[in-house]
Amino acid sequence: MAVVEKQKTNNPVGKSVPRNDVLEKVTGTAIYTDDIQFGPGLLHCRVVRSPYPHALIKKIDVSKALKLPGVKGVVTGDDFDEYIGLYLKDRHLFARGKVRFVGEPVAAVAATTEEIAEAAVELVEVEYEELEPVLDPEFGAQPGAPLIHPDLGSYERPNFIFPVAGTNISNHFKIRKGDTEAAWPQCAAIVEHTFRVPHVQHVPIEPHVAVAKMEENGQMTLWASTQSPFAQRALLAKTLHIPESDFRVIAPTIGGGFGCKAGVTMESIPCAVAMKFKGHPIKLRLTREEEFYTNFVRQGLVIHLKVGCDKDGNLLAFENRMYWDGGAYTEYGVNVTRAGGYSSTGPYDIPNVKTDSMCVYTNHPVGGAYRGFGMAELHTGVDQVMDMLAEKIGMDPVEFHKRNCVQGGDVLATGMVIHDVGIKECIDKVAQALDWGVKEPPSSPNKLRGKGIALAWKAPAMPPNAGSSALVKMNADGTVTVSVGGQEIGQGTFTAMAQIAAETLGVPYESVKVSGPIDTRYSPYEWQTVASRLTWSMGNAVRNAALDAKKKVLDMVAEAWNEDPKDLDIKDGYVISYKTEESISIKDIVVYGLPKPNDQGWIGGPVVGAGSFMPTYVTGLDAETGQGDRAVVHYTTGAEGVEIEVDKETGRITILRAACSFDVGKAINPALVKQQMEGGFVQGLSSALFEGMQLVGGVTRNPSFVDYRIATAADVPPEIDTFIVEHAQDDGPFGARGIGEHPLVPSIAAVAAALHDATGLRITNPPFSAEKVYLALLDAGLVE
């Protein structure tokens, strides 16, 4: 069926686009902050978006839009034919010939004001021919399902992504360890269950916003709210045929990311438009509604699990079949699927494993990076089946977890031997904090009370050669400037980098400043601010840069004092000699050097240290078995537990207290580590109790905070106990590894276990809303 669609809105709910940057109005003239920063030549961009989940584009007519006063031009897919994508190049900047999800960019309008651009969008006429959509990943993976990407087999990809040409499976990651079929008859207890985890949104406080400007000489500058300035430069420069040295990304401190500002999403649009209007900055900002469904979402998951143990509770066999709802484009989703595959057992030692982790194209919003990178979805199923199996074998869950959790030296499902981990200590600390084994009475007769515990692990999901670099500049006043390429998104990474530099150099922390904003023209390279890797990877680069600077200072002073550098050190900003007990402040000498005796010249000069780090030991995995020497750089492991009450009259869950413990290797800043545990738990709690995108026929029905509920301060338990465990990481700075994502990972499963303990019911698919819980209680006859 062909339909002429007059594009009336940028979103299904038809919201207007108000300006939020007006300073004042004088005699009817608005003064905008944009004009102050970018000048009067700034043009505003709005996007024509698909109203259909799957359709052919038969015709685009922009003539009416171009006649609107203030409109400077319209850009469509006919202007750009290159593909873009981080791990799989499967997406055009604008739809070409076909749309694959509601909200996909079809065209972009540039105008003198945002209001005019929005009005012009309504004048663009697009003729579509609807196609059958794929709205379930398990259906989409079957033979005969409508093909969303017929050209999948020709898409560019790295060698660790395994698409299945002629299907909707854009990555199929397999694990084959031992023999599961032979192990099942040996099991005293077996549990099988299917779980469904919904899509959720990142909902950062600050929506996506970007401004791009191409100069007459062809140089491009992009100002973006981004976690990935260097990755954006590389991807966009290649796609737009701009030399990377002529593409600059400036990334100020951003108002929350959680993964949705990783890679490239809407930033490509103002860049594309800027190429048509050289000399004009082009601004695009997403409305809150657009933020919900036009950018990355956490992809949904259907996970089929089977697990068995012997009569003593020792795990023997495990099968995991995952269908990840990657959405219309899976440039990032394919790596989420890979991470889910190599971590598919959770932090459990199992001798026989069979895993099939499949990323499936659907006509849903695009799945991308989300805090936890697939681990929260995975653990929602894995930890629950372990809780079920413990119950079936008649064993306490804490005892069961401790019996089966991974320990240093264990051979994982991929064949990798895991490093030392402190997960057993984490379990003990959480159990003790919750008074595990003590059944507390509910606070009133209409309440039910229960406790639950769940485990977690996560590795940095990244290419094997993701690198970091840093510069350490010593200043004449004794201060130190650290330059890095990683982004501060509220996780405290600049604080940790300053601490690492100060500790390595031997100067007070207060004297170290980390420079910003990140600017790819001047900042040292960093792959991306993702994967909970900055403390470890960028921290190593900062430490190496600080060691380089320190060596230069000590070599200079050693020459001036005629001493061995090994006898010198820097303490509290002073170079000291352990041999002669001489000392000298680093002030001035780190810039101006030291004079040689008898006025015979000078030694030294401005001190700048450079450092880099890249892991060199991650190996490839066999495409059919998933086996290899080292699948990942390391795992951070931990445990979480909650005590809850369920109101039988409403179904509402109240979290009474929570406990979190993670082995972080070494806590560079214990206060920040604890804050990450608290914040991650609350975000996980939010997805456990409230969050879920309501997708009906490919349309997001709740694209606003009116209908999409997130946790607030009122939902946070009065007690969140946090415990740091430290088993040093051999290649981490001072033994540290990341903790940013991990506390979110086990929250859903912990709440599910507590819900079962309280009610005796298995309500397995989040969110565990009051309505869902009440109806389950009603069906079970637990309420009248």
Distance separating alpha carbons of residues 679 and 675, to the nearest angstrom: 6
Distance separating alpha carbons of residues 649 and 45, to the nearest angstrom: 50
For 772, the 3-state DSSP assignment is: helix
Q: Do residues 112 and 53 both lie within one domain?
A: yes
Residue 728 lies in a domain: yes
Residue 293 lies in a domain: no
What range does the domain containing 124 cover?
Answer: 42-131+208-285
Q: Do residues 451 and 476 both lie within one domain?
A: no
Confidence of residue 18 (pLDDT cuts 50, 70, 90): very low
Direct distance between the N- and C-terminal alpha carbons of the chain, in angstroms, rounded to an integer: 50
Query: Residue 10: pLDDT above 60?
Result: no
Closest CA to 664 of 387, 457, 376, 354: 457
**To the nearest whole number, what is the mean pLDDT of the chain?**
95
pLDDT of residue 784: 80
In the sheet that 447-458 helps form, which strands lie side by side, from edge to edge?
A: 447-458, 636-647, 653-663, 719-725
Residue 744 lies in a domain: yes
CATH code: domain of residue 375: 3.30.365.10
**Mean of pLDDT values over 509-530:** 98
Q: Do residues 641 and 720 both lie within one domain?
A: yes
Closest CA to 206 of 267, 259, 264, 256: 256
Burial class (CB in 10 A: 0-12, 13-18, 19+), 490: middle
pLDDT of residue 253: 87
Dmax (CA) for the chain in angstroms is: 98
CATH code: domain of residue 234: 3.90.1170.50
Q: Do residues 400 and 328 both lie within one domain?
A: yes
CB 620 within 8 A of CB 159: yes
Burial class (CB in 10 A: 0-12, 13-18, 19+), 469: buried
Residue 181 lies in a domain: no
Which residues 6+ apart lie within 8 Å of 405 measured at CB?
347, 348, 349, 423, 424, 427, 455, 637
| φ, ψ of residue 385 in degrees (nearest 5) | -70, -30
Closest CA to 101 of 256, 294, 239: 294
On the question of a cis peptide bond just before residue 133, with omega within 30 degrees of 0, the verdict is no
Q: Do residues 416 and 441 both lie within one domain?
A: yes
Query: What is the residue-wise DSSP string for 4-53?
Result: EEE---SSTT--------EEEEETTEEEEHHHHHH-TT-EEEEEEE-SSS
Residue 546 lies in a domain: yes
Which residues 6+ apart lie within 8 Å of 237 measured at CB?
220, 243, 244, 246, 247
Q: Who wins on pLDDT, 14 or 83?
A: 83
From 562, 595, 613, give the residue that closes a domain.
Answer: 613
Beta bridge partners of 608: 473
Q: Do residues 455 and 504 both lie within one domain?
A: no
From 581, 613, 645, give the residue that closes a domain.
Answer: 613
Amino acid letter for position 375? M
Confidence of residue 34 (pLDDT cuts 50, 70, 90): low
CB 299 within 8 A of CB 333: yes
Q: Do residues 474 and 548 both lie within one domain?
A: yes
Q: Per residue in 231-277, pLDDT tens?
A: 999 999 999 999 999 999 999 989 999 999 999 999 999 999 999 99
Q: Which two tokens stand for residue 495?
A: 């604080």
Angle value at C-alpha 773, between 771 and 778, nearest 5 degrees: 95
Burial class (CB in 10 A: 0-12, 13-18, 19+), 394: exposed
Q: Which two tokens stand for residue 355?
A: 């895993």
**Mean of pLDDT values over 59-75:** 98
Beta bridge partners of 247: 220
Q: Do residues 232 and 85 both lie within one domain?
A: yes
Amino acid letter for position 489? I
Q: Do residues 480 and 544 both lie within one domain?
A: yes
Render the burial of 147-177: b for 16+ CB within 10 Å, e for the rest. ebbeebeebebeebbbbeeebbbbbbbbbbb
Q: Do residues 608 and 495 both lie within one domain?
A: yes
CB 456 within 8 A of CB 745: yes
Q: Do residues 117 and 229 both lie within one domain?
A: yes
Residue 222 lies in a domain: yes
- Total domains in the chain come to 3
Confidence of residue 31 (pLDDT cuts 50, 70, 90): very low
Closest CA to 260 of 199, 303, 213, 212: 199
Q: Per residue in 185-237, pLDDT tens?
A: 999 999 999 999 999 999 999 999 999 999 999 999 999 999 999 999 999 99
Distance separating alpha carbons of residues 532 and 339, to the nearest angstrom: 14
CB 9 within 8 A of CB 76: no
Distance separating alpha carbons of residues 767 and 122, to the nearest angstrom: 36
Quickly tell me which residue has 């269950």 as its tokens.
193
pLDDT of residue 24: 39
| Residue 132: Cβ within 10 Å count | 10
Q: Do residues 496 and 445 both lie within one domain?
A: no
Residue 344 lies in a domain: yes
Distance separating alpha carbons of residues 67 and 379, to the nearest angstrom: 54
Residue 174 lies in a domain: no
Q: Are strands 91-92 and 83-84 parallel, antiparallel or unpaired?
A: antiparallel
Q: Per residue in 451-503, pLDDT tens?
A: 999 999 999 999 999 999 999 999 999 999 999 999 999 999 999 999 999 99
- Kindly report the three-state secondary structure assignment for every residue of 101-142: CCCCEEEEEEECCHHHHHHHHCCCEEEEEECCCCCCHHHHCC
What region, left, alpha or beta, does residue 110 occupy, with left being phi > 0 and alpha being psi -120 to 50 degrees? beta
Q: Who wins on pLDDT, 6 or 580?
A: 580
CB 496 within 8 A of CB 678: no
Distance separating alpha carbons of residues 622 and 301, to the nearest angstrom: 24
From 556, 589, 613, give the residue that closes a domain.
Answer: 613
Instruction: Supply the pTM of this predicted model.
Output: 0.95
CB 90 within 8 A of CB 330: yes
Q: Per residue in 379-432, pLDDT tens?
A: 999 999 999 999 999 999 999 999 999 999 999 999 999 999 999 999 999 999
On the question of a cis peptide bond just before residue 517, with omega within 30 degrees of 0, the verdict is yes
pLDDT of residue 515: 97
Angle value at C-alpha 575, between 572 and 579, nearest 5 degrees: 120
Distance separating alpha carbons of residues 135 and 688, to the nearest angstrom: 23
